[in-house]
Amino acid sequence: MRHSSLLLPGLLGGLLGGLLAAGLSAANIPDMDSARGEQVFSTQGCIQCHALNGTGGHVGPDLLRVLDRSFTPAELAATMWNHAPTMWSKANERNVTVGLLSVGNAADLLAMLYASRFFEKAGDAARGKELFIEKSCGRCHGVTVAVNPKARPLNQWQGLADPVALVSANWNHSSDMWDEISRRKFRWPTLNAQEMTDLVVYIRTHSAAARAEKPQLHIMASSTGAALFTSKGCAACHDANHIAVREATLTSIAASMWNHATFLHNQPPRFEGDEMRSVLGYYWAGQFFGVNGNANRGRKVFETKHCTECHSGAGPGPKLADQAGTFNPVRMVSVIWSHGPQMKERMQQRNIAWPTFKTGEMADLLAFLNSQTTN
């Protein structure tokens, strides 16, 4: 995928401080994995009609080229709903079976589609070179020859293709970096997200191993992340319910923590294997399960879209008030994929037109559905 080569977080002290939350609990976030999402994209037949950065079918749009950073999970669910009849028609023409999509598979699929939005846009090697000099990186890191026996030259760097792994590695070495900078008596360099991006792109130009690595875009989430946030001591300084990463990218989070590494140099917790990925992914995933709509507006959507005729208790569909608190964009994607054709048939029998959603209406509808009571 093109976005993964986008770089990222090198030279950072970590990124736990930028994590997302909005009152999340371990029960809110089911397992989701972008790597599994790629398999779902193929096994569910999506790839026969849709491409991912040019790879796949061309009947529908390339999904990674239509998802910009302002496109929310609720809007993706609304878009799928709006175009569902056309998708089913095209699938029938091509003899593609539209199978059931579990909530777990839908979560994996969304993780895959949105992973690229967690990574920064492409950087510039020329700007990175200027920053390498300006920020005094060369005092410890040579380009082809070791300047400091504790620091590898740039042409020996590895792991630049996996941003999260790179974040974890630099976090684990932040204490050593701080000690060396303090010993040499020069100021800790600060970086913004774009500067970090440019630096990593510059470093990649000098590392044959990094250039040969296939870029990776792998994010996953599970309740393990919440447990690690506590066990690693992050909760001692950060309130998980008030940390925002909803609109952040890895580089902006990493740059923020790099700039605050002076507070963390005294034995920061180590992260092994996929532990950093688990923590980061858990809080990042909250955007898929949180709902930011307006319940009052959602009530009007529920009525004007004729949802009441099937889902208020007297119609053929389930009474949705009985399931209040369980609705989110992931579930809506699963429902439209798995049960949409049946819904459309029932609506035709009752002479109800297939509803479409404008921007914001799906989020409002979800907020209303979660606010209902069975009384």
Alpha helices in 193-291 (DSSP H): 193-206, 208-212, 223-231, 250-259, 275-284, 286-289
What is the pTM for the complete model shown?
A: 0.76
Q: Which of 117, 202, 209, 164 is nearest to 9 (CA)?
A: 164
For residue 51, list its beta bridge partners.
Answer: 56
Identify the pLDDT of residue 1: 29
Residue 223 has, within 13 A of its CA and on its CB side, a CA count of 5
Written as six digits, the tokens of 140 are 């410890």
Return the amino acid letter for 57. G
**CA dihedral sign, ordered 98, 102, 106, 111:** negative
Helix (H) or strand (E) holding 39: helix 34-43
Could you report the per-residue pLDDT of 178-195, keeping only the tens digit for each? 888 888 888 888 888 888
Q: How many CB atoms lie within 10 A of CB 1?
A: 20
Distance between CA atoms of 217 and 356, rounded to whole angstroms?
Answer: 32
Q: Are 185 and 173 in contact (CB under 8 A)?
A: no
CA distances from 332 to 36, 288, 327 (A): 19, 11, 7
Q: Give every residue of the chain whose pLDDT is below 70, as ranges.
A: 1-30, 68-70, 119-122, 214-215, 240-248, 261-267, 374-375
Identify the pLDDT of residue 297: 97
Return the amino acid letter for 99. G
Could you report the per-residue pLDDT of 109-147, keeping only the tens digit for each? 988 888 877 766 667 899 999 999 998 888 888 999 988
Could you report the per-residue pLDDT of 18-49, keeping only the tens digit for each? 222 233 344 456 688 988 999 999 888 888 88
